[in-house]
Structure 1
Amino acid sequence: MHRSGFACFVGRPNAGKSTLTNAIVGQKVAIASSRPQTTRHTVRGIVTRPEAQLVLIDTPGLHRPRTLLGERLNDLVYATWAEVDVIGVCLPSDQRIGPGDEYLVAQIAKLPKRPTLVALATKSDLVGRERMAEHLLRIASLEQTHGITWAEIVPTSALTGDQVTLVTDMLIAQLPEGPAYYPEGEATDEPTETLIAELIREAALERVRDELPHSITVTIDEMGLREGRTEDRPLLDVFASLVVERDSQKGIVIGHKGSVLREIGTAARAQLAALLGTPVHLDLKVKVLKDWQRNAKYLNRLGF
């Protein structure tokens, strides 16, 4: 019997969903950052085995929206829930289960057609045995509180790899019988242009002040292999824009004499070369779209 199907990870922002997705797929398909609300669209990671194919969907964190972008991201989460066979609820072990987690589980409990539910105690490397035991008991108590049933409750650490294979096996075991959806060897169905934009945004998120991350997005203006290069010496030219909401933010991203923008470019270029297997020339500029997170026209143009 060949199993195939879709699973999504949900949780509050910064619960470790993207890091776990990358660990299970075995390569980077979703950007991961210490900043909350890093993920802004659904990312599909693909795990293919002779007996099964698991398609992982990494979703934005469910949160109380303050902008039109936030509302659209939450809508994306709810739409994804309706399409999957399994929902993995990520509940970080180093944090107490709070109102945000309770709200998330309550929303899942209301689904008219509820997928199989598994609980993942992420970031297990950050706590000791006693704290973990307490956390797992609290997760189990959510069954009675919200009228749900966990098919499995598993501690895991994507950072150390602890029980990542077990989580993969467990998710596959919950899938229905069916054919493979993607060719063998494919790790994601994300367009290359989107992956490039996301890796540039990840580099920016790690190098700007705390108040800036939600205001940054990235567009790819142009890219292509440079003409006149021999096949054994290719060079990919990428021209991209870091988009912010205010002129003051533009100055922060550029930095003193362009220092921050250069750091972003250096970090992103290394990631892109590793991803694509090709040397990259990256040309970055910064532009302002005033309050783009609240403007429907800008959001549509930016693909949200």
Structure 2
Amino acid sequence: MTDEFAPSMIVPTAPPDFKSGFVAIVGRPNVGKSTLMNQLVGQKIAITSPVAQTTRNRLRGILTTDQSQIIFVDTPGIHKPHHELGRVLVQNARTAITAVDVVLFVVDSAVELGGGDRFIVELLKKSPTPIILGLNKQDQQPDDPDTVTQLDHSYRAVAEENGWTVAKFSALTGEGLAGLQQELSDRLAPGPYYYPPDLVTDQPERFIMGELIREQLLLLTRQEVPHSVAITIDRVEEKPKITHVHAAINVERPSQKGIVIGKSGTMLKAIGTAAREQIQKLIAGQVYLDLFVRVQPKWRQSRTRLAELGYRVED
């Protein structure tokens, strides 16, 4: 088990000039919020995928320096919901905005400000929480300087109109993140350590294991089984030389079960192999991963079934 997931439970007394607080990372789906949080905390704790709306649970990442402790709250992409799961996710994202010290509104600066961004702008206008507008994906902007200026202006105009600070960076390459981190730290008030300094997330290992399995499933099946999947870790058995992880992939329809399993079990084997490699990095040890697929009809439409699978409206 890695040091990050087996930290000391001692919470030291913070010096007088120490700052701490909570920062919600919000934005429309697929703008790089999870990649950004992973970069900031220095370890992969949130899954990333080319499939939109990857993040489901409100996940906290913890960055502790000599000067401050910043607790990042990675939220689901804010969008117009089409089912009960979507409504739960968007409500949780909205709740996070009101319960933090700073909001980091992340946008994709490689494309011009669009309707999805404007929807979030209107939402944030009503919030008394300080807002930092984060222009992500600067590494993906066009080579033409005039086009870059035009793209940036579409966002900076909104920031100026609302009195928001602007930070430009690339979550993928890390460029500009030192400045963003300093900007966030400067916005926080003096405060205590909320968590032990060597902790990087408040989520248990089982949750991260499930997310790593779901990430590989999304990467390998792409649009075939987009969001009809939930992972449950049924049992973890730690033995002297290997950890046995027994997990279920929950889908909504028998046809999706067939896609996940694949011809002669090839897809399920590929998902298991890739996920096992990621989990071994997480716990720094050998893993035996036992995966099976279970059909749970219309689980995204049922508030009760959502709760059973770990998706609850958060306070």
**Higher RCO (Cα < 8 Å, 6 or more apart):** 2
Match status 1:188 vs 2:201? yes
1:131, CA displacement in angstroms? 3.0
Residue 282 of structure 1: SS of its match in structure 2?
strand
1:98 aligns with 2:114: yes
Q: How many residues align?
A: 293
- Contact 2:70/2:185, CA 8 A, preserved across alignment: yes
2:228 maps to 1:215: yes
Contact 2:224 2:259 in 1 (8 A): no
Among residues 138, 141, 146, which one is paired with 1:130 in the alignment? 146
Q: CA RMSD in A?
A: 1.1
Q: Which residue of 1 aligns with 2:210?
A: 197
Deviations 1:153-206 (CA, angstroms, capped at 9, x unpaired)? 122111111111111111111111111111111111111110000000001000
Measure how far apart 1:95 and its partner are: 1.8
Q: Are positions 1:120 and 2:134 aligned together?
A: yes
Q: Does 1:6 align with 2:22?
A: yes
2: CA distance between counterparts of 1:119 and 1:175? 16
Are 1:248 and 2:264 counterparts?
no
Residue number in structure 2 paired with 1:65:
81
Matched, 1:291 2:304: no
How has the CA–CA distance of structure 1 residues 143 and 162 changed in structure 2, closer, same or farther, with 3 Å as cutoff?
closer
Q: Does 1:74 align with 2:83?
A: no
Name the amino acid aligned to 1:73.
L
SS of aligned partner of 1:210: helix
Equivalence for 1:168: 181
Alignment deviations for residues 4-23 of structure 1 (CA, whole Å, 9 cap, x no partner): 00101111100100000000
The structure-2 alpha-carbon separation of the partners of 1:209 and 1:18, relative to structure 1 and needing over 3 Å to count, comes to: closer
TM-fit CA distance, 1:56: 0.6
Identity value in percent: 39
Aligned 1:31-46 pairs, distance under 5 A: 31-46=47-62
Q: What's the CA shift for 1:133?
A: 2.0
CA distance in 1, matches of 2:67, 2:176: 20
Q: Work out the CA distance in 1 between the residues paired with 2:171 and 2:102.
A: 19
**1:99-126: CA deviations, max 9, x gaps?**
1100101011112xx1111111111101
Consecutive unaligned residues in structure 1, runs of 5 or more: none
CA contact (8 A) 2:133 2:159 kept: no
Which residue is 1:259 aligned to? 266
Displacement of 1:94 in angstroms is 1.6
Q: Hey, what's the Cα distance between the residues in 2 that align with 1:94 and 1:254?
A: 37
Which residue of structure 2 aligns with residue 159 of structure 1? Answer: 172
1:30 corresponds to 2:46: yes
Deviation of 1:250 (Å): 0.3
Counterpart of 1:115, as a letter, is T
Q: CA deviation at 1:79?
A: 0.7
